[in-house]
Amino acid sequence: MSEQAAPREFGWTMPRGWWTRRWHYFWYIVREFTSLPLALWLLWLLVEIRRAQDGPQGYHPHGSLGFVVFSVVVLLFALYHSYTFLTLAGAILHFNLADRPVSSRLIVLSQFALWAAASVVVGFVLIYFARS
């Protein structure tokens, strides 16, 4: 008696341009991609910090037009990435206050408020020490 072969199936393969087929997928890829230039910019920041160790005489920060444009683009990426990250906090964090669950909206708003407060503090510190 011959063994009957298993029925043949058509296997799934992900289309190469899957992320262009829906806006949701596209913005997800954009969100993920923003990490790459951010990481490059931060690596350069580490290099600048290392060069600044020798004191102000030997320190010449990179200020070409290309680098300024790159920094502005990275700033936009950072803002977009931060916005998506903080918005997702509403789905991630869950806790009760006075035996009642805190709403996702309130959690997201508190994240943005903390972000704004932290930005003000960091900005103040940078400006204050730059002037003194």
Partner 1 sequence: MSFAPKRITIKASRFDPAKDEKPRMQSYDIPFSDESMVVLDALNYIKGHVDGTLSYRWSCRMGICGSCGMMVDGIPKLTCNAFLRDYWPRPITIEPLNNFPVVRDLVIDMDDFMHKLKAVKPWIIRKQDPPLGGGAFLQTTPQIDEFRQFSQCINCMLCYAACPVYGLNDEFLGPAATALARRYNLDSRDEGLKQRLPVVAEAEGIWECSFVGECSVVCPKGVDPAKAIQQTKLDTTMRFVLPFGNRD
The residues that touch partner 1, with contacts defined as CB under 8 A, are 7-12, 14, 18-19, 21-22, 24-25, 28, 32, 88, 91-94, 99, 101
Closest to partner 1 by CB, 1 or 14: 14
CB of 103 to partner 1, least distance (A): 13
CB of 47 to partner 1, least distance (A): 29
Closest to partner 1 by CB, 93 or 121: 93
Quote the CA–CA distance of 37 and 9 in Å, as a whole number: 42
Q: Is 101 helix (H, G, I), strand (E, B) or coil?
A: strand
For residue 20 the two structure tokens come to 């262009």
**Which phi-psi region, left, alpha or beta, contains residue 98 (left: φ > 0; alpha: ψ -120 to 50)?**
left
